[in-house]
Structure 1
Amino acid sequence: MRAILTLLTLAIMTTTSNAASLPTPPDVARKPHTVKAPFGAERSDEYYWLRDDTRKNPEMLAYLNAENAYVDAMMHRLKPVEDRLYDEIVGRIKQDDSSVPFRHKGYWYYSRFEAGKDYPVHARRRDAAGVTALSIQQANDAADFKDEQVLLDVNALASGKDYYSVGVYEVSQDNRLLAYADDAVGRRQYVIRFKNLETGEIYPEAIEGASADIVWADDNRTVFYIENDPETLLTKRVKKHVLGTPVAQDPVVYEEEDDSFYMGLDRTRDDRFICISMSSTVSDEMRCAPAADPKDFFVFAPRERDVEYSADHYGGRWVIRTNENGAKNFKVMTADTETRERKAWKPWIETSDDVFIDGFELFRDFTVIAERSDGLERLRVLKADGAQEYVKADEPAYSMGLSTNAEPESEWLRYTYTSLTTPTTTYEVNTRTNERNLLKQQPVIGYDASKYVTERVWATARDGTRIPVSLVYRRGFKKDGTAALLQYGYGSYGASMDPGFNLPVVSLLDRGVVYAIAHIRGGEEMGRRWYEAGKLFNKKNTFTDFIDVTDVLVKEGYAAKDRVAAYGGSAGGLLMGAISNMAPDKYRLILSQVPFVDVVTTMLDPTIPLTTNEYDEWGNPGKKDFYDYMLTYSPYDNLSKQAYPAMFVGTGLWDSQVQYWEPAKYVARLRDLDTSNNPILFRTNMDAGHGGKSGRFRRYRELAEMYAFALDQLGVADTTTHAK
C-alpha cells in the first residue's frame, strides 16, 4: 500500500507529454470496518474511517489535500486551456448586469451586480409616475443609483469570508424592516438577522441553526422561522420570534415528529394566511393561521399517505393542486375559505393522462396553469369568462415558466423563456389585449444564437420506452459519427432537467462538441408516471435509459463511440457511478460532481442529513427487500476489477446534501480496482458545500478546470477558429 504522497512532493510534480513522468496518485490506508443492517446483513467498508463529522481528522484532511495536490499536478499541463476557458466563459458575462425589477407594496425590487465583484447588491426603488421595470433597468445600465435604496450589499457582507451566501431575505409588511438568512460555511445552516431599512442598523439579535424560511406577521414585529436539527439538519420546529425579545425564549409553534417530512413557510397569494407546509416524497400537510393574528394554526387537510397537495388562497377561496383519488398527473380543486377537510373540495381542472399539472398562479381576472406535455413545459391561461389560450413557443426544445408575478390584480403575466440556443428571456403579456413586451434577455457578450442549432430527438430504451433528448451543436455540424459528445442527466426526485441556455457550454460547442440532455425516467418531464418509473424498485430504469440514449446518439452519428463523456451531479452523480459500473466501455470520460455514490450505507444511517426524508425515493435499506435491490446498483458497492473511464470527481468538504466522504471513499476504492491507465481526478473544495464555492465567478474557475480535463480526454483541439 502506497503512503499518501506529501503535498510538497505533489506540488513539484508536473505533467508532461511523457507518461513516465506523470505523478503517482495518492492512496490511503484501508481500515477494517463492518456496516450492519438491522436485519443482520453485513458489508465490509475499508474506507469508512474517512467519515469525520467534525471535518478535523488530520489523516483524513491530509488525504483530501493530497488528492487536491494531485489534481494540481495532473492539470498543470492544461492550465493554459483552463485559463482560456475561464476567460471565455467570464467574458460572456455582462458584469454590471441586473435582474428584471418587480413591483410590490409601493417599491420596485431587483438585484444587480457590479463589475468585478462576486456577489449581488439587493436593492429597491420607490414606485412613482413614470417608473417602470424598463426605466429602472435603463438607470441601472447607466449606473444611476441616486434613487436606489440598498437592502443588502452581499459583497460587503462576504468580505473576508471563504464562503458566503444569503439564502433568503424578506421585507416586513410596512416596508421598514428586513429579515435575512446567511450562511458562512456552505452547510445550509443559516443565521437569521434583522436590519432597520430606515436607519441601516443591523440589530444585535441573531437566530442560529435555521433554514432559509422567514415569514413576517402583519404586526411587523413578529417573524416565523424554522429551526433545524443540529445533527441531521432536518427542518424540525417552527418558532416565533418577536423583535427585542431573547431568541432563547422563542416559543415553538409547531414541531414535526415524522423525520420523513420537510417543512416550509409562506404567505398565501392574498397575504391573508401564513402557512406551514409539511412535505414528504408521497404526502403533504398544510397548517395555516391568519397573518393578522397568527396564534392558532389550523390543519388545512390532514396528511394521508400517497395524497399530495398544495393550496393557495385568493379571491375568497382556496385553490388546491392534488393527486388525490388516483390523479397521477394532478388536478386542481377549489374550496371555501372555512374548509378544513378534503371531502369538501370541489373539482375545477380534471386530471389527464397526457398533461402533467406542475403548478398554478392566481390572478384577479385569470389563472395560469403550468403544465408539461410530451416532455415540454407550457403555460395555459384560463380567463374568467371560460376562455383559455397557451403562451406560444417557437423552438422544438425549450423551457418556459412563470416569472415573478407579485401583483395578482395585474392583467399582465410575466414569464420566462429559454432554450439551449436562446438566453433566458423575460416577457410580459397582456392577457386582455395579447400585447407582449420583452422585458429583458440575458446579455451574453459575443454570442450569436444563429450560429447554433437545437434539436429534440427520441431514443428508444431497451424496454421500448421512448426517451426525449434535447441536443445543441454548432451550425454546420455533420452527423458523421466523428464528434465528441457531452451527455448530461439527472433522473431523480421528479426533478425535470429542462433545456435552458447554458452559458459555459458555448465554449464546448465552439470547439465542435455536441451537448445533449437525456430526459430519463426518474424525472418528471413526461409526467408523474415518468418519475415513478425511475424510483424505488424501478430505479435502474434511470441508468439503463441513460446508457440507451448514448447508444442511440452514437448510432445516429451524433458522436464517435470512443468520444462520449457523461456528466451528472448529486443524484446525477449516482447516475454517473451506476453507468460507469454497468457500461464502462461506452464512455471515454465521466464527470461527477458531489455524487451520491454510497447509497446503502448512507440510507442506513438516519443521522445523516436527508436520509429519513428520502425513504420513499430510494427505499429504506433497513428492510431486506429494499436493501437487496439498492445493493444491486449502489456505485460504491458495485465497483469491480475492470477498466473504468477517465474520471473527474468533485465534492465540497462542508456539503450537507451529499457528505464529502461518499466520493472520497468511492475514489479510494475505485483506484484499488481500476485496471485501466485512465486518470482519476478527485477535487475537494475545502471551504464549500453542495453548491460549490460561493460567488458568481469562482464557480466558473472550477468548471473551466473540469472542461479542460474533458477536452483533453476527448481529444478536442483547444481552438475556436472555426467559430469566428
Structure 2
Amino acid sequence: MTSPDLTAPVAPTRPFTRSHHGDDVADHYEWLRAKDDEVVIAHLKDENAYTHSRTAHLAGLREDIFQEMKQRTLETDLSVPTRRGNWWYYSRTVEGSQYGIHCRAPLADPDDWTPPELTADTEIDGEQVMLDGNVEAEGHEFFSLGSFDTSTDGTRLLYGVDLAGDERYTLRIRDLSTGTDLADVVPNTSAGASFSPDGRFVVYTTMDDAWRPDTVWLHEVGTDAAADQQLFHEPDERYWVGAGFTRSDKYLMIGVGSSITSEEFLVPADDLRAQPRSVWPRREGVEYESTHAVVDGEDVLYILHNDGALDFELVRVAASTPDGEREIVLPHLPGRRLLDMSAFRDWGTVAYRRDGIVRMGLLDYGTGAVRELDFDEPLYTVGASGNPEWAPPMIRLGYGSFVTPGTVYDYVVDTAELLLRKRQPVLGGFDPADYGQERVWAVTEDGVRVPVSLVWKRSFGAPGDGPRPVHLYGYGSYEHSIDPGFSIARLSLLDRGVVFAVAHVRGGGEMGRQWYEDGKLQSKRNTFTDFVAVARHLVDAGYTTPDRMVAEGGSAGGLLMGAVANLAPELFAGILADVPFVDALTTILDPSLPLTVIEWDEWGDPLHDAGVYEYMKSYTPYENVRAGVQYPRILAVTSLNDTRVLYVEPAKWVARLREVGADALLKCEMVAGHGGVSGRYNAWHQRAFELAWLLDVLGLAA
C-alpha cells in the first residue's frame, strides 16, 4: 500500500494576523493566496506529486473504473433534435473525441413537430456542423462554452469560449452559410449572451473585478466592440445581473438579484435602446420572477413571488402596468414550493416541489387550473427543457431517477400523451431492475425529520439487512436541492456493493423555503448537525458502520464536509471534499474577493457584524481544526483557476490538517475551474481518481 518513506509537503508558516472585532487570529498559511508566486505554484505541484505517489497503488483500479464508465457509455451518439425556426438542432459525440459537435438539419415539413430519429451511422440530409468543440479546443488544455445561440433567421451563430476555467468568455459570431467568423470579438463577458430577435444585436453581460455580473451591453453585429452601448449597470455590490429575451420575443428582460431580493426590468425587443422599465421596484427580502404571455389578446406578465408568501405564489398582471392590480393564479400553499412558470402562446408550464419531489404541470390560462403530470417512480426528477418555440403543440421534458437513465419525453398538450423520445443508453447489460431506491428519514436531536435518499444494487441485499459500505453525499446551501438523478460513474460503486445515500439537509430546498431558511445565516449549523444526524441514523439503523462510510460534498457542500470532519470525525472513514469552501470566514471578510458581498445574504456579514463573525468563526472548518483528534482520511480536490472557491482555501485547510497529524491529500488541477477539468474523457479520469480513493478508504480497492 503506502510507502513508509513518502513525506507530505510541509507548507512553511509565515507570520500573518487577521484582526476583526477585537479578535486577532494568527493565519500562518495565508501566504498561499499569492497565486502568481512561484513558491506557491511549486508547493501546489509538490502536493500533486505527493498525492500521486500516495495513490499510485490505485492506478489499476482507476483505470478499471475509467474503462467501466467508458464501456457503459455510447460514445458515438446524438441528442434528441430540438426544433427552432426552420431547423432541427442537436449535438453529436464521437468516440475518441473530448467535446460535443453542435449540428443542425433543415426541417422537411413546417407542420412536423416529431423530431427525426437520428442514428450515428446514417447520413443526415442537409446536416450542417455549426461548431465542433474538438476543433475549437485544439491547442488548449481547457475549453468551455458559456454562450451558444443562433439568430432567429438561422443565419448566424453566437458563441462564447473560456480557455482558462475562470468563467470569462470571449464572444464571437459565425456566419453559418460560410462557416467563417465575423470580425466581431467581445472579450471578458459572462455566460448567457443572446441575439436580439431581429438578429441585428447581441445582448451580453460583463463582470466587475469581484467576478460579479454587473453590466448589460448592446453590441451591434458588424461593429467594433469598443462602440458597444451600456444598457444597464447595477452599482450595488450585493446584486448580480442577467439578461435574456422572453420566449415571445416581445421583451428583453434584465434581472437583478441577490439571494433574498430581486428586481426585473423590461425593454421592448424592437427598441433596445429604450430606458429599462422596472416590473416591481425592489424591496428587501422580496424575490420575484416574471414571464410574458398573451391572454385574450392582452399582454400580461405572470409573476412568481414571495411577497407575504413563503413558498411563493403566482399572480397575473397587465404588462403595461405591472405594479397595478394582481390576479392570483396559484395561491400560496405552505408545503408546495412554487419553483418556475414558463409561458407559451396557448398555455404555460409550472414546476413546484411537494413532499421533497419536483412536480410538473400544465397551466390553463383561462381557468388557472393545473394538470399535473404523473410518473410512477417514488423518487424522480423532471423538468421542462429545450423549448425555444413560442407556439409548440408539445412540451419537451427531461426525466430521470437514481435507477432510470436520463430520459427525454415530449408531452402532447391536447392529448396528454407522453412520448418517449430517447433514454440515455447504458451499455454492458445494465438493467434498472437490478437496483433499488427509497427514501428514509433521520431524526435530529431537536426532532426534525431529515429525508435521506438511498440507491443500491439488489444482489447485495437491501440496505439495513446488514452493515454495508456507504457513500453519503450532501450539499445544503442556496436552496439548492439534490434531486434523484442517474449516474453512470456511480454504477462502479453500486456494483461493488456500496450504498449511495443523499442527506437532504437544511439549507437546501428539498422541503420548501423554510427548509432553506433554517439552514442559512445564524441557523447554518443546522446543515452540519443534520448531516451528522443522518450519518448516525445510518449507523444506528444497521445500514453501515463508521469504518465503512465515506462522506462527499463539493463547493458549499465542501464546507459541510469540513464542518462535519470537525464535529463528528469518528463517524467517517473518509471525507472527499471537492472545491471545498473551507476557509469561509476569511473569504467572507474580504469584499474584494470574488462574490463575497453577494454572499453576505447567505452567510451573514462578519465584516460589519461581530455576532456574525463570532458565529461563523465557530463553524468554519479551517478555523476549527483541532489537535488531538483522529480525523478520517481526507481528499481535497481543487482547481487553480476556480473563481468561485479559490484554490487557497483547500490548500490552507490541508496544511492545517497536516499540522495535527491528519492524513490529508490535496489534488489541484493546474488548468481548470470550479467545475473541474474540461473534456469528457478528462472528466471521467478525474472522477475515476476520486472513486478509486473512495473505494480504497472503504476497503474495496482490491
Structure 1 residues 309 and 392: CA distance shift in structure 2, 3 A:
same
CA contact (8 A) 2:304 2:340 kept: no
Aligned equivalent of 1:712, options 684, 696, 700:
696
C-alpha distance in 2, partners of 1:717/1:153?
38
Q: CA deviation at 1:126?
A: 1.3
Query: Partner letter of residue 126 of structure 2?
Result: D
SS in 1 for 2:422: strand
Matched, 1:475 2:458: yes
Aligned length: 692
Matched, 1:438 2:438: no
- Which residue matches 1:662? 649
CA contact (8 A) 2:262 2:288 kept: yes
CA contact (8 A) 1:594 1:651 kept: yes
Structure 1 residues 298 and 41: CA distance shift in structure 2, 3 A:
same
Aligned ranges for residues 20-419 of structure 1 at < 5 Å? Answer: 21-37=4-20, 39-52=21-34, 55-129=35-109, 136-138=116-118, 140-229=119-208, 231-296=209-274, 297-315=276-294, 316-341=298-323, 343-384=324-365, 386=367, 387-419=369-401
SS in 2 for 1:637: helix
Question: What percentage of residue pairs aligned between the two structures are identical?
Answer: 38
CA contact (8 A) 1:214 1:223 kept: yes
- Which residue matches 1:552? 537
C-alpha distance in 2, partners of 1:246/1:134?
41
Structure 1 residues 636 and 364: CA distance shift in structure 2, 3 A:
same
Q: CA deviation at 1:346?
A: 2.2
Aligned ranges for residues 524-603 of structure 1 at < 5 Å? Answer: 524-603=509-588
Segments of 4+ moved more than 4 angstroms: 130-135
SS in 1 for 2:659: helix
Query: Partner letter of residue 103 of structure 1?
Result: R
Question: Which stretch has the larger CA shift, 447-456 or 589-598?
Answer: 447-456
Give per-residue Cα distances to partners, 1:232-277, cap 9 Å, x unaligned. 1111211111123221222211111011111111111211101111
Query: Partner letter of residue 681 of structure 2?
Result: F
Query: Partner letter of residue 458 of structure 2?
Result: R
Give per-residue Cα distances to partners, 1:443-469, cap 9 Å, x unaligned. 111211111001111111221111111
SS in 2 for 1:416: strand
C-alpha distance in 1, partners of 2:16/2:515?
38
- Which residue matches 1:631? 617
SS in 1 for 2:158: strand
C-alpha distance in 2, partners of 1:382/1:250?
40
* Cα-Cα RMSD: 1.6
Structure 1 residues 61 and 338: CA distance shift in structure 2, 3 A:
same
Structure 1 residues 133 and 25: CA distance shift in structure 2, 3 A:
farther
SS in 1 for 2:14: coil
Question: Which stretch has the larger CA shift, 212-221 or 433-442?
Answer: 212-221
Structure 1 residues 429 and 213: CA distance shift in structure 2, 3 A:
closer
Matched, 1:517 2:502: yes
Question: Which stretch has the larger CA shift, 484-493 or 168-177?
Answer: 168-177
C-alpha distance in 2, partners of 1:503/1:194?
35
CA contact (8 A) 1:101 1:133 kept: no
Query: Partner letter of residue 364 of structure 2?
Result: K
SS in 2 for 1:161: coil
CA contact (8 A) 2:636 2:666 kept: yes
SS in 2 for 1:31: coil
Q: CA deviation at 1:431?
A: 2.1
C-alpha distance in 2, partners of 1:253/1:389?
39
CA contact (8 A) 2:291 2:341 kept: no
Structure 1 residues 515 and 195: CA distance shift in structure 2, 3 A:
same
SS in 1 for 2:477: coil
CA contact (8 A) 1:514 1:559 kept: no
- Which residue matches 1:672? 659
Give per-residue Cα distances to partners, 1:537-560, cap 9 Å, x unaligned. 010000010110111112222212
Q: CA deviation at 1:419?
A: 0.7
Q: CA deviation at 1:146?
A: 4.2
- Which residue matches 1:697? 681
CA contact (8 A) 1:653 1:686 kept: yes
- Which residue matches 1:4? none
CA contact (8 A) 1:311 1:318 kept: no
CA contact (8 A) 2:197 2:249 kept: no
Question: Which stretch has the larger CA shift, 572-581 or 110-119?
Answer: 110-119
C-alpha distance in 2, partners of 1:690/1:391?
35
C-alpha distance in 2, partners of 1:522/1:70?
35
CA contact (8 A) 1:309 1:320 kept: no
Q: CA deviation at 1:571?
A: 0.3
Query: Partner letter of residue 87 of structure 1?
Result: Q
CA contact (8 A) 2:532 2:564 kept: yes
- Which residue matches 2:475? 490
Q: CA deviation at 1:441?
A: 0.5
C-alpha distance in 2, partners of 1:367/1:183?
35
Give per-residue Cα distances to partners, 1:365-400, cap 9 Å, x unaligned. 332210101101111223356354321121221111
Question: Which stretch has the larger CA shift, 548-557 or 466-475?
Answer: 548-557
Structure 1 residues 169 and 717: CA distance shift in structure 2, 3 A:
closer
SS in 2 for 1:206: strand
SS in 2 for 1:59: helix
CA contact (8 A) 1:319 1:332 kept: no
Query: Partner letter of residue 715 of structure 1?
Result: G
- Which residue matches 1:6? none
Query: Partner letter of residue 712 of structure 1?
Result: D
> TM-score, with normalisation over the residues of structure 1?
0.93
SS in 1 for 2:279: strand
Q: CA deviation at 1:424?
A: 0.8
CA contact (8 A) 2:237 2:597 kept: yes
C-alpha distance in 2, partners of 1:465/1:172?
51
C-alpha distance in 2, partners of 1:107/1:290?
26
Q: CA deviation at 1:178?
A: 1.5
SS in 2 for 1:436: strand
Query: Partner letter of residue 626 of structure 1?
Result: V
Question: Which stretch has the larger CA shift, 391-400 or 592-601?
Answer: 391-400
SS in 2 for 1:408: coil
Structure 1 residues 431 and 133: CA distance shift in structure 2, 3 A:
closer
Structure 1 residues 136 and 638: CA distance shift in structure 2, 3 A:
same
> TM-score, with normalisation over the residues of structure 2?
0.96
CA contact (8 A) 1:268 1:314 kept: no
C-alpha distance in 2, partners of 1:568/1:134?
40
Give per-residue Cα distances to partners, 1:184-225, cap 9 Å, x unaligned. 000001111111111212123311111012132244221111
C-alpha distance in 1, partners of 2:546/2:299?
57
CA contact (8 A) 1:481 1:554 kept: no
Q: CA deviation at 1:717?
A: 5.1
Query: Partner letter of residue 340 of structure 2?
Result: G
Matched, 1:644 2:647: no
Unaligned runs of 5+ in 1: 1-16, 719-724
Structure 1 residues 169 and 20: CA distance shift in structure 2, 3 A:
closer
C-alpha distance in 2, partners of 1:251/1:135?
39
C-alpha distance in 1, partners of 2:299/2:113?
31
Query: Partner letter of residue 668 of structure 1?
Result: A
C-alpha distance in 2, partners of 1:69/1:717?
21
